[in-house]
Amino acid sequence: MLFPGGLLPLRIFEQRYMEMAKDCLRTQLPFGICLIRSGEEVGAPATPEDIGCLAHVVQWDMQQLGLLQVTVRGGRRFRILERSVLPGALARARIELLPDELDAPLPDEFLGCARLLRLVIEEHGARTIEAPFRFDSGSWVSARLCELLPVPLAAKQRLMELSDCRERLAILQKFLEQHGLVTRA
């Protein structure tokens, strides 16, 4: 899943997505990423969740013919208003952008979440987390934890749909406490 401000590496090989990616590179416009509600990633168009995240291509490479590797950065969240499938099976949607989440300072009660995130980044590097690191931002810390934690995709989807970082952090902290990874400050 892609969260606002996050990085996601993608390997594109289906013709419909190859054409979409080339168009996005040419026009410098983003595409949308949504979790699949039903269906499969490859083949016939799947049914997506209603809320997703814009994906801006920040890096691309084609070392092998027919395989495009891109890295995208998450932009604004959006809600799908209407979907259609074009010839060639590419899904298109009319969307509304959701309001930007207010970037509140990280509340003291969630400092354990920021400490854990810092440890993970120090231990495993910042391969999929882009500097500058904003450990004092409730929105940034909660989004990065959602990306990294091994929670079911359906739960990540519900967390991404929340527009209040305090609510997201409270849920994440409870999860981390249950797994003995943080203690209440």
List pLDDT tens digits, range 138-165.
999 999 999 999 889 999 999 999 989 9
Q: Is 138 within the bounds of a domain?
A: yes
Choose the final residue of a domain: 66, 97, 128: 97
Whether residue 114 is found in the same domain as residue 76? no
Contact 163, 101 (CB under 8 A): yes
Pair (155, 81) in one structural domain: no
CATH label of the domain that carries residue 150? 1.10.4060.10
Domain that holds residue 150: 108-178
Find, among 116, 120, 136, 121, the residue nearest to 181 by Cα: 116
Percentage above 70 pLDDT, the chain: 95
The answer on 32 and 13 residing in a single domain is yes
In this prediction, residues 123-148 reach a mean pLDDT of 88
**Is residue 126 one of the residues assigned to a domain?**
yes
Return d(Cα 65, Cα 70) in angstroms, integer.
Answer: 14
Residue 81 resides in a domain: yes
Give yes or no: residues 92 and 132 share one domain: no
pLDDT at 15: 86
pTM of the predicted model as reported, rounded to 2 decimal places: 0.88
**Pick from 97, 124, 148: which residue ends a domain?**
97
Question: Hey, what are 171's tokens?
Answer: 């849920």
Count of structural domains within the chain: 2
Residue 141 lies in a domain: yes
Domain contains 183:
no
The pLDDT assigned to 91 comes to 85
Contact 25, 56 (CB under 8 A): no
**Which stretches within the chain are classed as H helix?**
15-27, 111-124, 138-148, 153-161, 165-178
Q: Answer whether residue 184 is part of any domain.
A: no
**Domain assignment of residue 2, yes or no:** no
Look at residue 185 and tell me whether its pLDDT is greater than 60: no
End position of a domain, from candidates 35, 70, 97: 97
Rg of the chain over Cα atoms, rounded to whole angstroms, equals 17
Decide if 1 is inside a domain. no
Domain match, 19 and 90 both: yes
Evaluate whether 94 touches 82 at the Cβ level (below 8 Å): yes
Same domain, yes or no: 135 and 67: no
User: What's the CATH number where 49 sits?
Assistant: 2.30.130.40
